[in-house]
Amino acid sequence: MSESPQKSGVGRLFRRGPWEIAATLFIAAGVLMLLQPFALVLYTYSFITTLIGVVMFVIVSKFPE
Amino acid sequence: MSKLNEIADRAAGATPPSLAGAVRGLSDKSIAWIFIAPTIILLLAINIFPLIWTIYLSLTNYRANRPNAELKFVGTEHYEKILTNPDIWAAMQSTAHFVVWTIVLQTVIGFTLAWLVDRKFRGHGFWTTVILLPMMLSPAVVGNFWKFLYQPQIGLFNYIISFFTGAEPSSFEMLGSVQLAPWAIVIVDTWMWTPYVMLICLAGLRSIPDYIYEAAEVDRASNWRQFWSITIPMCLPFIMLAVLFRGIENFKMFDMVNLLTGGGPGSTTEVASITLKREAFEKWRTGFSSAFAIILFVTVFGLANIYVKALNKVKSR
């Protein structure tokens, strides 16, 4: 039984790997923005960046491998 | 096996008929829920409830020293204040200085020590134990005795520095100087936690199969080439694990810094956790400090997620 192209496309879209990497990058960027000494504006937006990464990580960890 | 059956029969016989009847009617899933319910209730009570309560407090003007004052909902005001406050940003930079330098020093020294210990020289077991001693001590004890070591008049540290540099032992104060105090806490943390990094790196080095080095020898790869092409890449997941773990731990470091400098001189060594303590228990701004705690929590939680991911990667090797 072969999967329909649409279904396999959706399945490929919701694979855990790339989304987890994206979430990890968001978290890492948020932490760097929080701790950097260069721009107050980056510090201001650090929390929301980390939060997006964390929420994303929790959601995408439920995606299939 | 018959002994087990005998025990099971005895337990069944001792169960009151009413209870036995009630349990017999339950599905396996229900029985499983009954067994895990106490743990879930405990987790909810000591982990989840305080977290939700802290989020709630962070949105109010609550002060723990005025419990009867009118409680006002302030929305995200505390979060905005924290994330635009230059003083708290400075505390974050002190934390960054502490975290970055401790990680760099601990990784470099820890990996070097692991590489040396892995050579299996005579008495390497004894020296491994000696190297591991500092991490077995309590941070409170370490903080107190390093305070004595850093004493400008009688401290051993100042005498050792003066021996090598020729400077007067009492001419500099590690904990009292604005320039030296941030490095003083970095030195103590590095002294204490390098053995831990060494242990993780040692596990990484010992997980590399000998046949890879033997194949490299056959290919006439130099020691330097083997180090950069085999040792470092194969140890990297373990090094990453150590870096993440120490990063998380040092990001929330409190006890040792509080004992050594208490955040001083001025606010040079005021790391995030000390700012949090001051806001919560000196200025009694409970709502504000709850918001700050949530910001730190989200950061640590994010790093912990990456840590678990790295751990799984290492486990799957």
Q: Is A35 inside any structural domain?
A: yes
Residue A1 has pLDDT above 80, yes or no: no
**pTM here?**
0.83
Q: Best mutation site among A20, A21, A35 for testing chain B: the one with the most B CBs within 10 Å?
A: A35
What pLDDT is stored for residue B181 in this prediction?
93
**Structural domain boundaries enclosing A51:** 15-60
Q: Do B99 and A35 touch (CB under 8 A)?
A: yes
What does the alpha-carbon distance between residue B217 and residue B221 come to, in Å, rounded to a whole number?
Answer: 6
| Omega before residue B265 within 30° of 0, cis | yes
Q: Best mutation site among A21, A25, A27 for testing chain B: the one with the most B CBs within 10 Å?
A: A27
What is the separation of C-alpha B229 from the centre of its chain, rounded to a whole number of angstroms? 31
Facing B302 at nearest CB: one of A31, A37, A44: A31
What pLDDT is stored for residue A2 in this prediction?
47
Quote the number of domains for chain A.
1
**Which fold does the domain B81-315 belong to in CATH?**
MetI-like fold (1.10.3720)
Q: Is A45 inside any structural domain?
A: yes
Q: Do A37 and B96 touch (CB under 8 A)?
A: yes
What does the alpha-carbon distance between residue A55 and residue B207 come to, in Å, rounded to a whole number?
Answer: 34
Cβ atoms of B97 and B189 closer than 8 Å: no
Q: Which of A8-17, A21-30, B102-111, B176-185 has the lowest mean pLDDT?
A: A8-17
What does the alpha-carbon distance between residue A16 and residue A19 come to, in Å, rounded to a whole number?
Answer: 5
Residue of B nearest to A32 (CA): B96
Residues of A in contact with B99 (CB under 8 A): 35
Q: Furthest-apart CA pair in chain A: how many Å?
A: 57
What's the whole-number mean pLDDT along residues A10-33? 87
Facing B306 at nearest CB: one of A24, A40, A58: A24
Sequential pLDDT tens for chain B (317 residues): 567 778 877 877 787 777 777 777 788 888 899 999 999 999 999 999 999 999 999 999 999 888 888 889 999 999 999 999 999 999 999 999 999 999 999 999 999 999 999 887 788 888 888 999 999 999 889 999 899 999 988 889 989 998 898 888 888 888 988 999 999 999 999 999 999 999 999 999 999 999 999 999 999 989 999 999 999 989 988 998 899 889 989 988 999 999 999 887 888 999 999 999 999 999 999 999 999 999 999 999 999 888 888 888 777 76
Q: Is A28 inside any structural domain?
A: yes
Q: Best mutation site among B101, B271, B309 for testing chain A: the one with the most A CBs within 10 Å?
A: B309
Q: Is A10 inside any structural domain?
A: no
What pLDDT is stored for residue A7 in this prediction?
54
ipTM value of the model? 0.85
Domain boundaries, chain B: 81-315
Q: Is A1 inside any structural domain?
A: no
Residues of A in contact with B83 (CB under 8 A): 43-47
Residues of B in contact with A60 (CB under 8 A): none
Cβ atoms of A47 and B79 closer than 8 Å: yes
Provide the pLDDT confidence category of residue A8 given band limits of 50, 70 and 90.
low
Distance from CA of A64 to the nearest CA of B (A): 15
Residue A45 has pLDDT above 70, yes or no: yes
Structure tokens given for B34: 């009954």
Structure tokens given for B287: 């709502």
Q: Do A35 and B95 touch (CB under 8 A)?
A: yes
Query: DSSP state, B15?
Result: S
Q: Do A35 and B301 touch (CB under 8 A)?
A: no
What is the separation of C-alpha B253 from the centre of its chain, rounded to a whole number of angstroms? 7
Residues 6+ apart with CB under 8 A from A54: A23, A27, B298, B301, B302, B305
Residue of A nearest to B295 (CA): A47
Cβ atoms of B214 and B123 closer than 8 Å: no
Distance from CA of A56 to the nearest CA of B (A): 10
Residue of A nearest to B301 (CA): A54
Q: Is A51 inside any structural domain?
A: yes
* Main-chain phi, psi angles of B73, to 5 degrees: -80, 120
